[in-house]
Structure 1
Amino acid sequence: MYKVLLVEDEKMIRKGLAYNFDWIGCECTIVGEAGNGEEGVEMIRSLNPDIVVTDVGMPIKNGIQMLEETMEAYGYEAIILSVYDEFHYAKAAMHLGVAEYLIKPLEYEQLKKALEKAKAQCRMKQHFSDAETKTREALERDVFDFKIVLPEQSYSPRTRVMVTYIRDNYQKKISINDLIEPLQTSATYLNQLFKKETGFPFNDFLNRYRIQMAIQKLKEDDCKIYNVAVECGFKEYKYFINVFKKYTGILPSAFVAYYQKKRRFIMDEMTEKKKRESSQEISCGAARWLRISWKAVTWREEKG
């Protein structure tokens, strides 16, 4: 059920909306009612609604002011109710990205359609939020364990050869069959040995290493996902996408978007820090100049 907050200063209209409209049939439930924009702000903060249905012209704080103060921070969808002589608010409402702007007297069929639109936008936001969460979780849990792809002293000589072969030739089309003759044993035995000592079948280990290398390349500026796929041994782009998602839980494009966003954030933080430091230096310099100037003036007065 989608949580809906009603914000309307005319009690009769507000109660009529709350009790005469089929909210349950629209997969919605009224979680609160507010009589003005100020109350609306408080209830948005405390109830965190999915959808806010609000009047525009209200005392203390109007609907537009309430939306400007809370909409971006709390990420809800808004449906505005207005009358013809308040239509000059429409431009501001559209700028805020409200789901719908309805004119009073309200027809319930219009409200039903507006709710469907608002719910669709809620679902879209949730989809993007889930994708971003998956990206962040994948990065935070560090699924790309570098230790699994490095030869360990505990490995047998044959397994070390196989791991080294993967590391040195992952860009090419390789298989465990390439090692049958050099290691003088069967592919079945090699794969059993490899899985026993590394925990992964040969091909699984190979793909993990390729994805690990792809991750490093995708962090670079101006990287092209298709080129990265080829450089990491994936000749078919679609297969690379599927393998990448299998091991990371996200698409390569989502990974790139996350790192670009993260890089911009870091750069912005560094820029702001430099600005603050520069401002402090200027302030300190000005203060030193004032102290020196004052000393000079005092010295001249004393001298005189």
Structure 2
Amino acid sequence: MITCFIAEDEQILRRGLILTIDWDKMGCKVIGEAANGAEALMLIKKLKPDIVITDIRMPTMDGLSLIEQCLGFYYPEFIIISGYNDFSYAKKAIRLGVSDYLCKPIDEEELKQTVERVCKKIIKNREELPPNIPVKIITANDIPFAQFKEYSNEYNTGKNKYILKAIRFIEDNYGRNITIADVCRKLIISESYLTKLFKEYTGYSFIEYLTYIRIKNACILLNNDDIKIYAAAEKVGYKDQRYFSALFKKYTGLTPKQFKERQYTVEKASDI
């Protein structure tokens, strides 16, 4: 069951969203509500919903500020509802990775379609998250990180040549939306064969290794105080900041914001 939280200061609209929408039919459950941003933030921290539907204009804290605060510790999907069809709001919402921006008066069918689409995205992301991976300490500051093998030219023989070339392709292209199919076209081998080789010689799947390379390079980028989290995510191949943040925490034990605030220093790849 996918959980949902509604933050809306207009009581009639808030109760209407909760009571008139058939949430069960969409595989959802409303687990909380709030009439202002500060209360919403407190409850989101406690309840950890999968989806947050929030108005932009609310007492104590507006919806965009609420989203920014949430992204420091938790990464639900956000749907904004607003009486303001203002491009500046929409632009900032897009930068924050909001799933959709709906204008009042709310069209019930449009909201249902939006929630259904977001639910499918959540389910897909859950399926794609890599399994738990053994961790080790890689810096003087004791950051836990995925334990991977990285291969050097001493293995440049036989079948390992394919692995070396595949890893080199990943390291050169991790910032793009690459798949194992792209690597196979480059190496002129089948996906099933490369999948088998990757598991045999590295102990990990292609997507696990790609994710590792991306997160490691994200750590390096986030040590730069000037770079924003969403910009670091895009540079390492993730358009969805929430998905990036969830992966980052899974691999490092820290949110990107925590990582930046504590100013950890990641060792060079050759030292990992």
> Which residue in the other structure is 1:261 paired with?
215
Secondary structure of the structure 2 residue equivalent to 1:122? helix
> How many angstroms apart in 2 are the aligned matches of 1:71 and 1:13?
26
Alignment of 1:1-304 (within 5 A): 1-71=1-71, 73-84=73-84, 88-128=88-128, 130-131=129-130, 133=131, 136-137=133-134, 171=158, 214=163, 218=167, 236-244=189-197, 246-247=199-200, 250-252=204-206, 254-259=208-213, 261-262=215-216, 265=219
1:78 CA displacement: 0.9
Change over 3 Å in CA distance of 1:137–1:245 after alignment to 2 = farther
Query: Unaligned stretches of 5+ in structure 1?
Result: 145-167, 173-209, 275-304
TM-score, L = length of structure 2: 0.60
Residue deviations 1:181-206, cap 9 Å, x none? xxxxxxxxxxxxxxxxxxxxxxxxxx
1:218 CA displacement: 3.7
Amino acid at match of 1:3: T
> How many angstroms apart in 2 are the aligned matches of 1:169 and 1:114?
50
1:33 CA displacement: 0.6
Residue deviations 1:115-163, cap 9 Å, x none? 02211332343244x22x45x349989798xxxxxxxxxxxxxxxxxxx
> How many angstroms apart in 1 are the aligned matches of 2:81 and 2:217?
41
Change over 3 Å in CA distance of 1:222–1:107 after alignment to 2 = closer
> How many angstroms apart in 1 are the aligned matches of 2:79 and 2:22?
16
CA contact (8 A) 2:163 2:198 kept: no
Secondary structure of the structure 2 residue equivalent to 1:29? strand
Across the aligned residues of Structure 1 and Structure 2, the Cα RMSD in angstroms comes to 4.2
More displaced 10-residue stretch of structure 1: 7-16 or 213-222: 213-222
> How many angstroms apart in 1 are the aligned matches of 2:62 and 2:80?
11
Secondary structure of the structure 2 residue equivalent to 1:80? strand
Change over 3 Å in CA distance of 1:59–1:86 after alignment to 2 = farther
Amino acid at match of 2:216: K
> How many angstroms apart in 2 are the aligned matches of 1:267 and 1:107?
41
1:34 CA displacement: 0.6
More displaced 10-residue stretch of structure 1: 89-98 or 78-87: 78-87
Amino acid at match of 1:251: S
Larger radius of gyration: 1
CA contact (8 A) 2:135 2:146 kept: yes
Higher relative contact order, chain-length normalized (CA < 8 Å, sep 6+)? 2
1:70 CA displacement: 0.8
> How many angstroms apart in 2 are the aligned matches of 1:268 and 1:17?
39
Query: Unaligned stretches of 5+ in structure 2?
Result: 137-144, 150-154, 175-179, 226-262, 266-272
